[in-house]
Structure 1
């Protein structure tokens, strides 16, 4: 449930909810997605109630440290998590709830790689060593796009060329072990884009690439997005790429979206202490410092956690007696800006006094 900032109290809940885009513009809608991994000590809550939507021709960036649940969210959308994983919520592609489909059924298999494609973070593990790279890309085209082998061959070679692989006619017949890490990353991108998907989930798609090829790949994704109206879910830790690629940003921490807003709003007016910490850690030409700021501590393990803000131990603005005894809910700060933080909810009243008292006592 979304709360309002203190200045908006008194409005009806229906009046303060974030407005939904037109139904024909929303391609992917995720509602209250939860992913649980059964372990010996209980349930590990990797994703804990994530909600967002991506519109046609738009890019939503999901950012956060390693271990925040970004990649698991992407895999849960496609239903490719381990079998014993417990997944709940809704993932709507148009009027189809993907979580209601059988993970190995014909319906979801027709969607994977065609309507929704994913660029995986580890391309060396995404390709089979037994078949050539070209054949594996062409297999997807034959399955989802055309039955003509000659046409599929031409499309594969053209896509390899477009992602910056030199001599694609020769590379088509080579095996994964003959490719470098960067070339495998580009081949993975070629496979994902080969069937013109409606939604592209890009999980750190440029990690293994040098800056020149990185720029080419990002330009290619933008070009195809403009050409086909493709929606992109861009998972990354690189805030520089987020500023370049994304229209909206969802900041994840400990399996939850702690702040979401248009990209310019996030950079100009970050509200959540975690978002502020991430932005302070970026090098800038406008400021000269000997050492960049960092967020102390690490992301806690989401296992048997008490009701409290997951960022409490690392937060410099925490409110003792509030942040450590209950979970914060999303607060509507403006039309498209939300933050899950007690600094902006009703609990903020008197919080400054308690926080100052805590500092004095410390």
Structure 2
């Protein structure tokens, strides 16, 4: 049974059976429950799903910045291209505040956060905060660090860099703050960039500019990107492969075009039908997925999408855990509609 798209090259980052548990007053929340995916050099993997599906917790676990309440297990294997000492390292085995993970975080694996206004400190200038990452990971020389910071501000399209270097985050517009965040993330030329909803707070024009900027910088630096979003339009624009996440699990994974042209899981189909389309009937209401994502507390072994699914099989989907099924070498789905249980139910 294939669970990943088949690639000839070794993945730069491999996530296997990632689980994140959070102890709540009324039980244990399985926020992330057995997630698997690979990230390849120069490629973009899109992690898509509604809010509350565990996307951000999954991405933040890679660089060990989740809250202390999160009990994390599984393996996140990092195969560094540049340093043999890091090749094949399980990042989850490292101490979150230790020297090894800090040598990777920001230098080899960087992250663009959802809201740069909260990610930047209001007490320090933009230039000071970009320089901090450079001085930690590249050079202690202030003049050299400033030169690199100014070059990065120029690369992300911020004009009058010398003036902007000495300004504070509140003096930047939303689009400029996001560009400054990208410049800080890329200042150390990382191998992997994690982008958590990088365009959520931006208008459509600035959003397009930021996405184009990320694509051009990826082509220049050859980095891999993990793009976390709920916007399928961004997925279509940016990604080579897509992992659809629901209630802490990846329910479907395939190349981008396969997901859009041949979706299998009812949740994936629902997401696609909710998208507005050019040339569509303007008087027709967009489809929606009824209900909301439940809280995964003390969840029994069953399909998490059962209560919202129009194609559910009574006595099957609500009675047992859903196995992974290989539609092809590059297409995996987690749904009883494509297993032997479905055939038995029909008979």
- TM-score in terms of structure 2 length: 0.93
Deviations along 1:292-339, whole A, 9 cap, x unmatched? 000000000000112210000100000001001111111001011000
1:340 aligns with 2:334: yes
1:156-235 map, 5 Å: 156-235=149-228
Once the two structures are TM-superposed, the CA of residue 238 in structure 1 deviates from its matched residue by 1.1
Distance, in Å, in 1 between the alignment partners of 2:6 and 2:74 is 18
Q: Would you say the 8 A contact 1:18–1:335 is kept in 2?
A: yes
- The aligned counterpart of 2:83 is none
- The aligned counterpart of 2:85 is none
Once the two structures are TM-superposed, the CA of residue 154 in structure 1 deviates from its matched residue by 2.1
Distance, in Å, in 2 between the alignment partners of 1:46 and 1:123 is 25
Once the two structures are TM-superposed, the CA of residue 20 in structure 1 deviates from its matched residue by 5.4
- The aligned counterpart of 1:21 is 7
Q: Which ranges in structure 2 are unaligned for 5 or more consecutive residues?
A: 80-87
Distance, in Å, in 1 between the alignment partners of 2:105 and 2:112 is 12
Equivalenced residues, count: 338
1:147 aligns with 2:132: no
Q: Would you say the 8 A contact 1:164–1:216 is kept in 2?
A: no
Question: 3-state DSSP class of the match of 1:78?
Answer: coil
- The aligned counterpart of 1:13 is none
CA spacing shift, 1:224–1:164, aligned 2, 3 Å: closer
Q: Which runs of 4+ in 1 moved over 4 A?
A: 16-20
Question: 3-state DSSP class of the match of 2:163?
Answer: helix
Q: Would you say the 8 A contact 1:57–1:226 is kept in 2?
A: yes
Distance, in Å, in 2 between the alignment partners of 1:246 and 1:17 is 19
Distance, in Å, in 2 between the alignment partners of 1:19 and 1:220 is 27
Deviations along 1:73-127, whole A, 9 cap, x unmatched? 0111110111232000000111110000110000000000010000011212211
Distance, in Å, in 2 between the alignment partners of 1:328 and 1:254 is 13
Q: Which ranges in structure 1 are unaligned for 5 or more consecutive residues?
A: 3-15, 354-362
Q: Would you say the 8 A contact 1:308–1:325 is kept in 2?
A: yes
Question: 3-state DSSP class of the match of 1:349?
Answer: helix
Once the two structures are TM-superposed, the CA of residue 151 in structure 1 deviates from its matched residue by 2.5
- The aligned counterpart of 1:326 is 320
CA spacing shift, 1:325–1:124, aligned 2, 3 Å: same
1:82 aligns with 2:67: yes
CA RMSD in angstroms, aligned pairs only = 1.6
Distance, in Å, in 2 between the alignment partners of 1:20 and 1:349 is 27
- TM-score in terms of structure 1 length: 0.89
Distance, in Å, in 1 between the alignment partners of 2:346 and 2:122 is 59
Q: Would you say the 8 A contact 1:343–1:351 is kept in 2?
A: no
Q: Would you say the 8 A contact 1:157–1:168 is kept in 2?
A: yes
Distance, in Å, in 1 between the alignment partners of 2:326 and 2:91 is 28
Question: 3-state DSSP class of the match of 1:343?
Answer: helix
- The aligned counterpart of 2:116 is 123
Question: 47, 53, 58: which one pairs with 2:38?
Answer: 53
- The aligned counterpart of 1:107 is 100
